Structure 1
Amino acid sequence: MVDGSDLPVAATQTSVRILETLIDLDGGGVTAVAEALGRSKSSVHNHLETLTGLGFVVKDDHEYRVSLRFLHIGSYARQQYPIYTAGIDEVVQLSTAANCSAGIVVLEADSVICLHHRLGPNTGTPRVGAGDQLPLHTAAGKAILAALPEARREDLLADHAFDAGTEQSYSSRAELDAELQTVTARGLAVDREEWYPDMRGIAAAVEAPDGSVRGAIYVLTDTESLSGKRFQQDLPGLVISSATQIQNTLRESEN
């Protein structure tokens, strides 16, 4: 949740925070939402009733939940990225061939956002879903960072906190820069438990014919299932092949 202290319309900010709270609570009544936000029950009630009247919230007895109207909005938002249509079948094939979770992400504004994620058989924490934001130090995040123009990469990393993540995460900008040079040279990024303990990932950027970054495709599973030759050779080859296939599909669709 963003700070929001500089946003011009406070009422809109409150409504959005109420929606986010309903998601966090998996639905709830006026009292539960008000306590979670530290706001008065009368204010929260007015916002909830307005959102209900607009169709963004559904009321069941005395509890509220977000409505399926967001499904339409989310589907539209996702379809704006050509990599989704071009890559969704490739994600399924990669997940099946790799026997682990796979997905595609894009860079929207300053965030790496998951467009589609297919769960693998050995799935534990984290359970990534469409719309989730992934940290920049994940394999997918590093794949995108390495493929960006230097000025854009500088913007993204200017305020990056190097104290987040796990014990394996980068502790300095110099360490991350060195890793990004390796990613550029290999055309491949890896996550060695930098996001979650006992989880590893591999990702490759998907680029347009003009060299701009369309997103990245990744695999993610537990460390025990992603080690040795499988981590060093087998799955990297599959990921790069999938990225290339998506790039070819995008090129054909734009000709």
Structure 2
Amino acid sequence: VGPLAKGVEPRQLTIAVMPEPMLPDVTAHADCHDALKHTIELLAAAGHRVEEMEMSPDQEVADAFGRVWSVVASQVALEDEEEDEESLEPFTRYMRDRGRAVSGRQLHAALTTFRGIGQMLTDLIFEVYDVILTPTLAQPPALIGEFTTDTDANANFDRMTAFMPYTPLYNITGLPAVTVPVHWNDQGLPIGVMLGGRYGDEATLTALAAQLQSAAGELGRRPEIW
């Protein structure tokens, strides 16, 4: 984002920090909290006002996201539905089967929930704050195959959900967001944070992300395992 925002400094912003996800029984890894803490220090040093905020976990929202995600998977067209379906990854077939079981009323309810959350954030959160700051993921980068080794598709789904519980907030609302690599853990792996903003306010996020990247430094590093 640096070249996009070159020479543009964000104004002093009021930033809400949400350390924990809205997903029940999921907490962020210590590395992700370290990245968040480091980011808060960088933002405060740049003159921004940072305050912690908590949003109550909501299983109903998580279930709605799972329904819509599966419906989207089920609607991807295949040239030969019967033959090509068998060639799909087991998890993809699992999601398509889930999607076919979602009723029209359930889909409508889920989409209505999404719209309500977007409106709530607009009316309540973004009336007070300019940006929401969270970890990007709840865990450090995963190993290749980590979400496909289990033959239990339900278990894979739960592991994926626990791995990325912050990003769905922007999937379901359509609010703009950007992830910024600001931290490295003891294993030399990059840990990012995510900035979310008001509808149509990508300019603020781009400028703030560029400022954060510049302050974090060492952007050319690569994990040793690469």
TM-score (norm 2): 0.30
Which protein is bigger by CA-based radius of gyration? 1
Structure with greater strand share of residues = 1
Relative contact order higher in (CA < 8 Å, ≥ 6 apart):
2
With the length of structure 1 as denominator, give the TM-score of the two structures. 0.28
